Amino acid sequence: MKDYYAVLGVSRDASEAEIKKAYRKLARELHPDVAGAEGEERFKEVAAAYDVLGHADKRAQYDRGVDPRAASGGAGGPQGFGFEDIFETFFGGGAGPFGGQQRGPASRVQRGGDTLVHTEVTLEEAVFGVTREIQVDLADVCTTCHGSCCAPGTQPQGCRQCNGTGSVQRVARSLLGQVMTTAPCPTCGGYGSTIETPCGECSGQGRTHSRHTVSVDIPAGVETGTRIRMTGQGDAGIAGGQKGDLYIEIRERQHAVFERRGDDLHCNLEVPMTAAALGTVLTVETFDGPQEVDVRPGTHAGSTVRLKGLGVGRLQRAGRGDLHVHLDVVTPTDLTDEQAELLRQLAGLRGEEAPEARLAPLGGGVFSRLRDAFKGH
């Protein structure tokens, strides 16, 4: 039994689409008009293989070890070789020799294209969301011809070459000899009618362009690259076709103080050395107004205070991220003589007049604390 899968060059678990694609590729390469008479036998093999594998019931029989073509005597004709697929492959699905139905005229109406515009938002707008008015150039249905593409008082005229069918017949050579096929009419472009007097306002397109002001609701949590889709608010289609979609792509502006990492915000807060040693409560300005930051006694440089729920609004779920305040302990460098003396007295009280150099393990030092702070630990 002939291996039809090998003939088409596909695996035994190939999908219907893969089999059809392989068949069409080989049929084009091996057609006698392309490969000459020497490719005719190979072309017949490919057509026979597709006649079996291209039909679910025949393929099932073949997979069970029965060649349906051998069982039927290898009969040809439209049932045997799948001629409808052959004509679709070479002639675009036009009328076949067995009375296939011709296509009707094409429609001038086309859906409008999608439009992409960019808008910039501040970090605060990304935190809470904002309604933005943007300017965009869009196509509208022509107000003069109302999408008909014709000058007022006129209408499309039936094409004389194709008699309104949108297609013309031509003779092509195939395995069956000469067959009549169809092709789009070159006069009307396949529309079946011609526009003798196009609309002067839209040049026969049925649409014009103008600038629009569009109100966009930008939700909390957007970031650079986020796209907001506004269905049916893009360009109007040709000849009165439906509108495409409008996409708004977000670009987020960097903030001078706060840095965004996902849904969280981060900032640095300078803390005097004495306040870090003794502890204090500092007030910082956030997007939610003044907030208190509790600096515990003995706070080290690189410590982090987390203010829950003061981060960025989450785009696809409820709630907000957090605000992480990184504490930067500032050591004074411009001490007066009196201040320096007081520090020397403090050092004496703590037995630190001549401190010894002591190496600390990396696991508990300032660098590890900085590392853990940035990792959110």
Bind-site residues: 142, 145, 159, 162, 185, 188, 199, 202
Measured between alpha carbons, how far is residue 41 from residues 30, 85, 368 in Å? 9, 18, 76
Strands of 304-307's sheet in order across = 259-261, 264-272, 323-330, 304-307
Helix then strand count (H, E) for the chain reads 12, 15
8 contacts 46 by C-beta, under 8 angstroms: yes
Calpha distance 97→180 (Å, rounded): 7
Helices 16-30 and 40-53 sit at what angle, rounded to 10 degrees?
Answer: 170
* Six token digits for residue 11: 């695996």
**E strands in the chain:** 115-121, 130-141, 157-158, 167-174, 177-184, 193-194, 207-218, 227-230, 246-252, 259-261, 264-272, 280-286, 289-295, 304-307, 323-330
Calpha distance 155→50 (Å, rounded): 47
The residue behind tokens 């300005």 is: 285
Interior angle at CA 204, CA 201 and CA 205, nearest 5: 95
DSSP symbol at 32: H
DSSP symbol at 70: H
* Residue 86, number of CB atoms within 10 A of its CB: 22
Annotated binding residues for Zn(2+), written as ranges, equal: 142, 145, 159, 162, 185, 188, 199, 202
Calpha distance 293→306 (Å, rounded): 9
Residues 6 or more apart in contact with residue 353 via CB below 8 angstroms:
344, 347
DSSP symbol at 324: E
Torsion sign across C-alpha atoms 132, 133, 135, 137: positive
